[in-house]
Structure 1
Amino acid sequence: MTTAPTRTVDGVELPAAGTWKIDPGHAEVGFVGRHFMLTKVRGRFTGVDATVEIGERPEDSKVTAVIDMASVDSGDRTRDDHLRSADFFDAEKHPKATFVSTAVTWDGKRGTLTGDLTIKDVTRPVTLEVDYLGYARDPWGNDRTVFSAHGKINREDWGLTWNMVLDSGGILVSKEIELSLDLEAIKEA
């Protein structure tokens, strides 16, 4: 007997309740900061392990994630090495960041996900706006659900305070960081 990969909740098609495992090959956990307070600098983490527990009621859903901090990739090796250093992530001493959800609100295909983000042993709450983008069955018979999420954080809240004051005023690296996630998850049997 197989279980349907989707269900209808209040007239909206949503993923079926159960465990969905993030496919790291189809997961983008990205961030955007500003250099000289002007230029957008984008980066991502390629090492992500996450599970989404979809509740019978969408509000009862839970997310847990572990991010390999050494997997940071901004397209520039020198910058990536600096991000891995003690000035920022200190990936040698703190190889993993974690996210554990604490609350979910849901309305149709959109919601908010609040949780505890831990970086360098500092835990702070983060709220992300989430969109359910849909469902697909891949050519190998795996049921996949797709979400995107975004939010903003102040990196200094996690002790990521390295910066330089510019002669013209302002700072080299923005304090505010935009988070952007695009995730495919596979239904576990």
Structure 2
Amino acid sequence: MKTIFKVLAALLIICNCAYGQVKWEVDPAHTNVRFEVNHLGIAFVDGQFKKLEGSVETKSDKDFNGAKINFIIDVNSIDTRVEMRDNHLKSDDFFSAQKYPTMKLENAVLNGKDGNYTLTGDLTIRDITKKVTFTVKQNNGIITDPWGKTRAGFTATGRINRFDFGIQYADKLPTGVMAVAPEVELTINVELVKN
């Protein structure tokens, strides 16, 4: 009987090692969330969120298929290079940053191979959560930096409709063209460091 327990305990240890999670942290100094939206039907305005944090868990330190991802973005870090516009975007017309200071991407999972992935997760903006999908490209594999740390870089792209998240600002030109288009293009450049 003792032998059976020993064998079971050894199997549990082996299974735990085989399915252990590798933890990665987002390097905020080398990560950004960029956006671009059509303005007046004739041009594009772009900007970024400068403060964010995030974590990634993988099954191994060599493959990101099945990775679990969570991000928190500081809405007040929005930067379009025009202070008046940034303040308007933080107002109730758009993000209502005082009431909803963060955006979150949670329960996100990366699926794919050979550096090409699809990311699906729950995006929350203004306390409204919707399922979103991004196309993700791994940039040049996994490297060891000059300081001995293991790093990986990714670029994710996707599109959301701001109306889906309660961002209802809807001024229009006399022609009916919206001052700010509903569709927002997102590009997320991420650099991860293995813990």
Distance (Å, rounded) in 1 between the aligned partners of 2:47 and 2:108: 26
Q: Is the 8 A contact 1:153 1:178 kept in 2?
A: yes
Corresponding position of 2:165? 158
Q: Is the 8 A contact 1:55 1:62 kept in 2?
A: no
Aligned-residue CA RMSD in angstroms? 1.4
Distance (Å, rounded) in 1 between the aligned partners of 2:72 and 2:178: 30
Unaligned ranges ≥5, structure 2: 1-20
1:116 aligns with 2:122: yes
Shift of 1:139: 2.6
Q: Which amino acid aligns with 2:32?
A: E
Q: Which amino acid aligns with 1:91?
A: A
Shift of 1:99: 0.3
Distance (Å, rounded) in 2 between the aligned partners of 1:77 and 1:166: 24
1:125 pairs, out of 124, 131, 152, with: 131
Deviations 1:75-109 (A, max 9, x none): 11111000111111111111111101344321321
Q: Secondary structure at the match of 2:29?
A: strand
Shift of 1:143: 1.5
Shift of 1:161: 0.9
1:61 aligns with 2:67: yes
Q: TM-score if structure 1 supplies the norm length? A: 0.86
Deviations 1:31-88 (A, max 9, x none): 1101002211111101110111122474421000000000000111111000111111
Q: Is the 8 A contact 2:56 2:70 kept in 1?
A: yes
Distance (Å, rounded) in 2 between the aligned partners of 1:106 and 1:39: 34
Distance (Å, rounded) in 1 between the aligned partners of 2:53 and 2:181: 27
Q: Which amino acid aligns with 2:186?
A: L
Deviations 1:13-40 (A, max 9, x none): xxxx611101001001111101002211
Q: Is the 8 A contact 1:154 1:175 kept in 2?
A: yes
2:188 pairs, out of 175, 181, 185, with: 181
Q: Secondary structure at the match of 2:89?
A: helix
Distance (Å, rounded) in 2 between the aligned partners of 1:122 and 1:155: 11
Corresponding position of 1:14? none
Corresponding position of 2:80? 74
Q: Is the 8 A contact 2:103 2:123 kept in 1?
A: yes
Distance (Å, rounded) in 2 between the aligned partners of 1:148 and 1:104: 12
Q: Secondary structure at the match of 2:25?
A: strand
1:46 aligns with 2:53: no
Q: TM-score if structure 2 supplies the norm length? A: 0.84
**Higher radius of gyration, 1 or 2:** 2
Identity %: 37
Unaligned ranges ≥5, structure 1: 1-16
Structure with more of its chain in strand, by fraction:
1
Distance (Å, rounded) in 2 between the aligned partners of 1:179 and 1:101: 19
Distance (Å, rounded) in 2 between the aligned partners of 1:183 and 1:104: 14
102 and 181 in structure 1: CA distance in 2 versus 1, 3 angstrom threshold = closer
